[in-house]
Each structure stands twice: as structure tokens, then as C-alpha cells.
């Protein structure tokens, strides 16, 4: 299992900006979910709940999950990326 996952939403400007920041990083898996939670299937809902980002995605996106630690929003994710260069 990958220890770095970016949870993003469709039609989300901040999510798209964040994806551009990590486009050259192969250590981060990107999962893009439908913008409306009512369009999520059971697997998508379960995955967000397993990673404990479900409630956060109801309020804001994107969310970067790193080994159980959550980084919410573009600015915090950008800082994490700057502080954690890929080796």
C-alpha cells in the first residue's frame, strides 16, 4: 500500500493546482473523486473512511494523506511538498 495519497475532487481548482505541484512525483498516488459525495460509490466512500479523510473532504479539498498524517488544503500541501523533496 502506498503511504502517500492525494485525495482530490473533480472540478476543484485547488485540487488541480496541487496535482500540478506533484506531477513529477511518483511516490504520491492521486485519487480523484466526484465533486458531489452523492456520486461516490461504496468503494470510494469506504476508502476515504479507512484513511480517515471522509469528514475533511466534506469540507475542503485536496487532502494529502501521508502514513496516517493529514495535510489539508493547497497551501499546507505545498509546504509539505517543499519540506519533503522526493529522493
Residue 52 pLDDT > 80: yes
* Domains contained in the chain, CATH given: 4-83 (3.40.30.10)
- The answer to pTM > 0.85 is yes
Q: Would you state the pLDDT for residue 31?
A: 97
Rounded CA separation 76/64 (Å): 9
Per-residue pLDDT tens over the stretch 14-48: 999 999 999 999 999 999 999 999 999 999 999 99
* Strand residues in 1-87 grouped as ranges (E): 4-9, 29-33, 63-66, 69-72
Amino acid at each position: 500500500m502506498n503511504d502517500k495519497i492525494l485525495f482530490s475532487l473533480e472540478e476543484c481548482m485547488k485540487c488541480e493546482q496541487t496535482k500540478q505541484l506533484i506531477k513529477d512525483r511518483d511516490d504520491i498516488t492521486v485519487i480523484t473523486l466526484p465533486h458531489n459525495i452523492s456520486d461516490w460509490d461504496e468503494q470510494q466512500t469506504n476508502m476515504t473512511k479507512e484513511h480517515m479523510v471522509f469528514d475533511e473532504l466534506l469540507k475542503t479539498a485536496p487532502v494529502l494523506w501521508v502514513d496516517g498524517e493529514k495535510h489539508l488544503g493547497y497551501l499546507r500541501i505545498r509546504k509539505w511538498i517543499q519540506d519533503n523533496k522526493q529522493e
